[in-house]
Amino acid sequence: MGRKNEKVKASIIIPSYNARQRLYLNLVALNNQSYEEDDIEVIVIDNGSNDNTLQMLKEFRLKYPMKILRIDENRGIAQGRNEGVINAEGDILIFHDSDMLASKNFIKRHLEEHKEPDTVVCGLFWRRIFTYYYKSFTSDQINNFEKVRERLNMKRLSLYWDEYPLLSEEQIKYDDLTPYSFDLEFGFINDLRKIINTYGRNLEGYYLPWRFSITNNLSAERQKVIDVGMFDTNIIRYGYEDYDLGVRLYKSGCRFVMADDIISLHQEHPVNYRADDLIININFMCNKYNNIYFIDVPLVCMSDCLNIGPEQLNRIARDINHLLSNSQYHDILELFLEVLQVLRRRFFSPAEENSRKVFLKVIQRLDYYVGKVLRLEEEEGANDLIKQLSAMLKMAFGIEFQKLLNTNRKEKDGSDE
C-alpha cells in the first residue's frame, strides 16, 4: 500500500562534532525551507563537541520543533546517528549532516519520494560550497577554492585568516547558492554519474544501488532502519557506515531511488580522516560480509584494486545475483569469494595471509572446478563472473584457469564430433 493519502511525519537527523559555525548555517538553510507543515522535527546530536555547539543550539530559533541530544564522548558518527534514530518520532528519517546546506525544496522533495513503501531516497551528495576558508585546507581544496573565486571574480585577499567567513547568513537566506557551488571531481562519483545516465533515477537493472547510500542526503523509513539493525557502531573510522546501512536496507528488499534534484551542498572544511581509514574499513566490511549472499560487498571494496570498471562490476553482480537462486553453483560462488578474500588480505592485511591454504584446496579440486565452470557456462552463461574468477585465480596463485577452460572446451568439442 502506498502513502498517497497519508500525511507523513519526518525526523531530520543531524549529528555534529565541533562544527558549530557550519551547523549554524545548516539550520539557517532549514529555516528557509518551502515545507510549511507542522509534522517535521529536527534532531541535532551534539556528538561530544567542545566548541560551544550546545549553547548555540539552545539559542537558535528553528521554525520546526528541535530536539537537542548531547553525547559527552564522541564514539563515532554511527553512534551519534543511532541516538537520533532512537529518539525520532517521524515515520521517515531524513539524514542530513551538520556541514550541509539544504536547498529550499529539500524536505518537500524527500517526502514526495516516499509515496511507496520500502523506498530509500538518495539525494545529490557531491556538490560542494565554500562558506569558510580554513588554513588547514588540503591543496586540492585550495585549488577548488581558487577556481570558484576566479569564476565569481571575488577579490583575492593578501591573507585569509583561519575560519574566514566567505558567505553571510543573509546570502544563505536569500541568494541562489548555485553559482557559489561546484561538483566534487572524484573517481567513484564520476562512476555513479555514469550509472545514473545508464540506469535512470530508479536504477533499474543496476544490482549495486547501495553504492548511492550516502547519509548526508538520504531518507528511509524509520522502521526499516531499525529492523535492519541501524548503523553499525563498530565502524568508528571515517566512512563506510552509510554504505553498511545501505547494504542491509537493499538486501532487506528496499528499492533505491536517485533523486538528484534533491540538492544539499556540502560545506568544505578541513579533512577529518586518517590515512589508514580506508584500509581499516575495507578489512572490516570484507570480514563482516564474508558470505556469498553479500559477496557484492567485498567485490565493490576490491574493485579498484582489481581494475573492474562500473559496467563490468554490475554485470558480475548480475551473474552473482542470478546464481544465488541456483544452489548447485554455490560452490563456485564460494570459490570466487575465497579467492577474492585472498587478494584482499594480500593488498590490505598481509598479517592475515592464508593464500597457501586456499591454493592447496584449489589445486586439489582444480579438475572439478574446471568441469563445474564449463557446465555453468553452458547452462547459465555467467560469462562476466567466469572471466573475473579466472583473472583472480591468475592474480592470486598464477593459475591459468582461462587456458584450462579453453583446453577442456576444445577437447569436449572434439569428442562431440
Q: Any idea which of 114-118, 228-232, 326-330, 346-350 has the lowest mean pLDDT? A: 346-350
Would you say residue 272 lies in a domain? no
Q: Is residue 300 packed enough to be buried (19+ CB in 10 Å), middle (13-18) or exposed (0-12)?
A: buried
Nearest of 63, 62, 92, 67 to residue 15 by alpha carbon = 67
What was the pLDDT predicted at 3? 38
CATH number of domain containing 128: 3.90.550.10
Checking if the pLDDT of 8 tops 60, the result is: no
Residue, of 239 and 295, whose pLDDT is higher: 295
Q: pLDDT tens digits for 364-391?
A: 999 999 999 999 999 999 999 999 999 9
What was the pLDDT predicted at 152? 87
Would you say residue 44 lies in a domain? yes
For residues 282 and 363, membership in a common domain is answered with yes
What was the pLDDT predicted at 95? 98
Among 267, 291, 321, the domain boundary falls at 267
What was the pLDDT predicted at 158? 59
Q: How far apart are CA 148 and CA 142, in angstroms?
A: 10
Would you say residue 230 lies in a domain? yes
Checking if the pLDDT of 112 tops 90, the result is: yes
| Domain region containing 31 | 10-267
Would you say residue 82 lies in a domain? yes
Among 267, 290, 314, the domain boundary falls at 267
Would you say residue 2 lies in a domain? no
Would you say residue 252 lies in a domain? yes
For residues 215 and 306, membership in a common domain is answered with no
Question: How many domains would you assign to the chain?
Answer: 2
Q: Residues near 245 by Cβ (< 8 Å), separated by ≥ 6?
A: 213, 215, 225, 228, 230, 231, 232
For residues 162 and 260, membership in a common domain is answered with yes
For residues 231 and 314, membership in a common domain is answered with no
Would you say residue 4 lies in a domain? no
For residues 329 and 192, membership in a common domain is answered with no
Q: Residues near 218 by Cβ (< 8 Å), separated by ≥ 6?
A: 94, 95, 120, 121, 122, 123, 125, 242
Among 232, 267, 302, the domain boundary falls at 267
Q: Any idea which of 101-105, 133-137, 236-240, 255-259 has the lowest mean pLDDT? A: 236-240
Checking if the pLDDT of 122 tops 50, the result is: yes
Q: pLDDT tens digits for 134-154?
A: 989 999 999 999 999 888 887
For residues 196 and 335, membership in a common domain is answered with no
Would you say residue 231 lies in a domain? yes
How many beta carbons lie within 10 A of that of residue 239, not counting itself?
Answer: 16
Residue, of 163 and 120, whose pLDDT is higher: 120
Checking if the pLDDT of 188 tops 90, the result is: no
Q: Indicate the angle between helix axes 366-380 and 355-364, nearest 10 degrees.
A: 70
Share of residues in the chain with pLDDT > 70 (%): 96
Q: Any idea which of 82-91, 174-183, 247-256, 269-278 has the lowest mean pLDDT? A: 269-278
Q: Write down how long the chain is.
A: 417
Q: How far apart are CA 385 and CA 312, in angstroms?
A: 9
For residues 298 and 212, membership in a common domain is answered with no
Contacts 24+ apart (CB under 8 A), 171-176: 172/25, 172/28, 172/29, 172/32, 172/101, 172/131, 173/28, 173/31, 173/32
For residues 381 and 254, membership in a common domain is answered with no
For residues 169 and 289, membership in a common domain is answered with no
For residues 257 and 392, membership in a common domain is answered with no
Share of residues in the chain with pLDDT > 90 (%): 82
For residues 72 and 134, membership in a common domain is answered with yes
For residues 260 and 282, membership in a common domain is answered with no
Q: How far apart are CA 323 and CA 382, in angstroms?
A: 8
**Average pLDDT rounded to a whole number, residues 305-333:** 96
What was the pLDDT predicted at 350? 85
Q: Any idea which of 32-41, 76-85, 220-229, 268-277 has the lowest mean pLDDT? A: 268-277
Checking if the pLDDT of 88 tops 60, the result is: yes
What was the pLDDT predicted at 192? 92
